[in-house]
Structure 1
Amino acid sequence: MTGADEDTDLPGGWEAEAAEYALGVLPEAERAGFEARMAADRNLAQDVDAWTEYFATLTDRIPEATPSQAVLKRIEAEVHGDPPPPVWRQLLPYLVGAMAGAAMAWVVFISGVLEQGRPEILASLEPVAGDLAFDVRIDPPTHTVAIDYRAGELPDGRVLQLWLIPEGSDPISLGVMSPGGDHIVVLSDEMAARVPGATLAVSDEPEGGSPTGLPTGEVQAAGVPIPL
């Protein structure tokens, strides 16, 4: 390991800094400058390669083992910090107060007790991450859900996706909305049976909708349906 000729403030000069880089402990503020020097100095790049090979030999006698998921999560938490809660879980503080009324509304919706009068169930999806707001109209006999854009700036280069979030469960996609923020979907009987106390939410997603089946963008608006 020859290293570069220049000196640094670190003991051992560039060679010591190459060792820190190989170990991944070189401070973030110094990495860009070091990588620029390494790209221009083959000796420095060779030092990094040599240190990497040397450090790898230190673990040769340690038998391989796959850590448990609990250990992996602790390591990730130490390195990256605790992951943020899923975006739909962050909605709960906004919606807890409306759950009781929503449950009553959906009991009516599912049971069809008032079907003779064809009551309409309404919801206002209010802004969460931005200024978008929507009006929701639900026809209980047909399980038809209609979303109408009301206010706010529609995202550029993104699409809006509607989600049904049953209480205590993961979000269920109800489809990608039109560019104008409107959408109509008819729920199946099985889907309707899952919605007492549920939340309706709109997130912004990449073109074509969420690639994971769960919200990946910010939740723009959310609300709980209440009977008219």
Structure 2
Amino acid sequence: MSDTVDAGAWPPEDHDDLTAAEYVLGVLPHRERQAAQERAELDGGFSRRVSQWEGRLAVLNAAYEDGPVNAAVYPRIESDLFGAPQAAAAPARRVPAWRMWLSGGVVAATVVLAAVFWPQAEPPLSAQLTGEAVAFNASFDGAVLQIARAGDAADEGHDYELWAIGADGVPRSLGLLRGETAQIAASDLEPGVTLAVSLEPLGGAPDGSPTGPVLAAAALAVN
């Protein structure tokens, strides 16, 4: 509650109206709900407030059937939220269908939002680039491309250079492969993109396009 609102200064009828609304909505703790139920049976004015709130909220209930009631459900929920009641639980009331609909709607909305906004893991991709004298095993997890070489390093004065070739057919350099393994940050690789390794002058292709022979190539595919 805001520090600027003094609930103690409210007129008694406002307190009664708020309690009646909370009672109809079913948000009162067990003992307060039981006290409100008993008061509604004895206090005609409070009973009328409860009836008025039931009427205001009836529009939410009109299109739905009452759901089945398990007498053990409410006491268990209240025990988890507010602690075990000291007195025996009041008889279970029928659950308004609008309340069941609202709870189910919150759950469904949460699931939908999670499916839309929760980051989804990319399916792993792999490719086997096999040449006559050297081979490369590539695996991609959606963020990092890992390359493992089987065979000799490039001859002195040369480097292996890795290329990605998409649907436009234009090779794009992903970097040099000098060790037996390499990890390359990438984010736009997808199934069908061809990986190729060419033999280039030391330091890589001078003009950004392959100049040496292509030693191995293969397309990325889902594992």
**TM-score w.r.t. structure 1 length?**
0.42
Higher relative contact order (CA 8 A, sep 6+): 1
When Rg is computed on C-alpha atoms for both structures, the one with the higher figure is: 2
